[in-house]
């Protein structure tokens, strides 16, 4: 039972290394984790696991505007996508994987494995 994520930069065809994200539990607004993706676009440790893995509604916020600016992309002001929030529920004891595929003008997600 754990929660993981990874981010793929579909504009450049590679993992999104160095992208900041945070995980919040919505029932009380508590920020549970802040992380930066590694060279493979993943967080080095699970976002939730063990005793911290509980049923409920959560939100991952990915700082994609800052990521693309760090690559030197000239984004409009304001950027079309800056912070991408993904709200999801955990309702069973299982591995939850929430990937993000992103470009400066689009994104998609799904429940992965």
Whether 83 is in a domain gets the answer yes
Question: pTM for the full model?
Answer: 0.96
Give a yes or no: residue 113 inside a domain.
Answer: no
Q: What are phi and psi of 69, to 5 degrees?
A: -65, -35
Q: Based on the structure, what is the number of domains in the chain?
A: 1
Q: Is residue 30 part of a domain?
A: yes
Would you say residue 94 lies in a domain? yes
Distance (Å, rounded) from C-alpha 11 to C-alpha 55?
Answer: 34
pLDDT in tens, 31-52: 999 999 999 999 999 999 999 9
Alpha carbon 10 to its chain centroid, in Å, reads 15
Taking only the tens place, the pLDDT of each residue in 55-70 is 999 999 999 999 999 9
Residues above pLDDT 90, as percent of the chain: 99
Confidence of residue 113 (pLDDT cuts 50, 70, 90): confident
CATH of the domain at 73: 2.60.40.180
Q: What are phi and psi of 66, to 5 degrees?
A: -60, -40
* 43 within domain boundaries: yes
């Amino acid at each position: 039972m754990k929660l993981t994520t990874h981010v793929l930069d579909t504009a450049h065809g590679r993992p999104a290394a160095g992208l900041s994200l945070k995980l919040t539990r919505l029932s009380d607004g508590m920020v549970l984790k802040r992380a930066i993706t590694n060279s493979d676009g993943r967080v080095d440790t699970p976002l939730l696991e063990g005793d911290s893995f509980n049923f409920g509604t959560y939100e991952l916020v990915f700082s994609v505007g800052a990521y693309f600016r760090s690559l030197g992309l000239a984004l409009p002001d304001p950027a079309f996508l800056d912070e991408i929030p993904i709200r999801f529920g955990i309702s069973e004891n299982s591995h939850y994987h929430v990937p993000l595929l992103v470009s400066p003008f689009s994104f998609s997600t799904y429940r992965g494995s």
